[in-house]
Structure formats: C-alpha cells, structure tokens
C-alpha cells in the first residue's frame, strides 16, 4: 500500500464522524491523493497501519502561514491524546521551518475538534453560518 492508500483507508474509516460525511462532499480517494502530493503529512503508524495523520499546507512562505487541512484519528485510537500529540508535533515542525501562524476551518458542529484546537491554543478569528475559522500564533 502507498501513503495515498493509507490516507484514503483512514478517511473512509472515520467518514461517518463528519457531518455531513466526508464522502458526501468529496471523492475520498482524490482527496487522499491531493493531501499526499501537496501537503506536509505527519503520520502515526501502529503495526504498519496508519492510525492517525495531520496534513498541513505550508506554501504561504511570504506570510509565513500554514493551513491545517485535515487531522484524522482512527476509531480505536481516539481518546488516547494521539490527536493532541500529533498536532503538537506538527506545530513544532512548523515553528522549526519559520511558520508564524497556523490556520484552519472547522464545522461548528464538530465539538471534539473544536475542543482539541482550543486545548492546543487556537482562537476563533471569524465564522460563517456553518464554520469557524481558527488561528494559532506559533512564533
């Protein structure tokens, strides 16, 4: 299996945790390929199986800004602080390459993710009817 296959498999596993489901909004396979090819992907494997990943677009070097596009934790690994640790490791890497802010968008009904982001230090900067736009000052 490739990293694309691993990402797609994990996204399919947690698909029903997104409201609306991820697969109802995007082609999961194509999204996995986009992430693998265009983002910096931080992965945690357990016995050869991808159990969690975070993907970050780090291409706004002019403004030293990155965008967290996805964080996913497999169902049997949830509740074990893997998401927090993965996010903290990602932030350390971004700090090391000179990124000053990390941005993300999260659905308002995704309370677990919002709690995770707030725990790490993200603040809500703006909102729409359905989403919050959050930012973390890294440097």
Residue 18 to residue 6: CA distance in whole angstroms: 19
Q: What is the CATH number of the domain that holds 17?
A: 3.40.630.30
Question: 33-48 pLDDT, tens per residue?
Answer: 999 999 999 999 999 9
Query: Residue 73: its pLDDT value, please?
Result: 97
Query: Residue 133: its pLDDT value, please?
Result: 98
Q: Domain total for the chain?
A: 1
List the domain range (segments joined by +) for residue 17.
3-137
Which strands, in side-by-side order, build the sheet including 131-137? 40-46, 49-60, 65-73, 101-107, 131-137, 123-127
Query: Residue 86: its pLDDT value, please?
Result: 94
Query: Residue 23: its pLDDT value, please?
Result: 96
What confidence tier does 59 reach under pLDDT thresholds 50, 70, 90?
Answer: confident
Please, what is the end-to-end C-alpha distance for the chain in angstroms? 37
- Tell me the backbone φ, ψ of residue 37, rounded to 5 degrees: -90, -30
Query: Is this structure's pTM higher than 0.85?
Result: yes
């Amino acid at each position: 299996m490739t990293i694309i296959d691993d990402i797609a498999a994990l996204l399919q596993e947690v698909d029903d945790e997104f409201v609306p489901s991820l697969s109802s909004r995007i082609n999961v396979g194509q999204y996995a390929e986009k992430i693998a090819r265009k983002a910096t992907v931080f992965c945690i494997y357990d016995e050869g199986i991808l159990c969690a990943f975070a993907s970050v677009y780090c291409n706004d070097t002019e403004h030293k800004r990155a965008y967290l596009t996805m964080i996913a934790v497999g169902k049997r690994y949830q509740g074990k602080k893997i998401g927090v640790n993965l996010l903290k490791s990602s932030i350390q890497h971004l700090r090391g390459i000179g990124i000053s802010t990390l941005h993300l968008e999260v659905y308002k009904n995704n309370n677990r993710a919002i709690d995770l982001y707030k725990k790490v230090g993200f603040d809500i900067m703006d909102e729409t009817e359905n989403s919050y736009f959050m930012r973390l000052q890294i440097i």
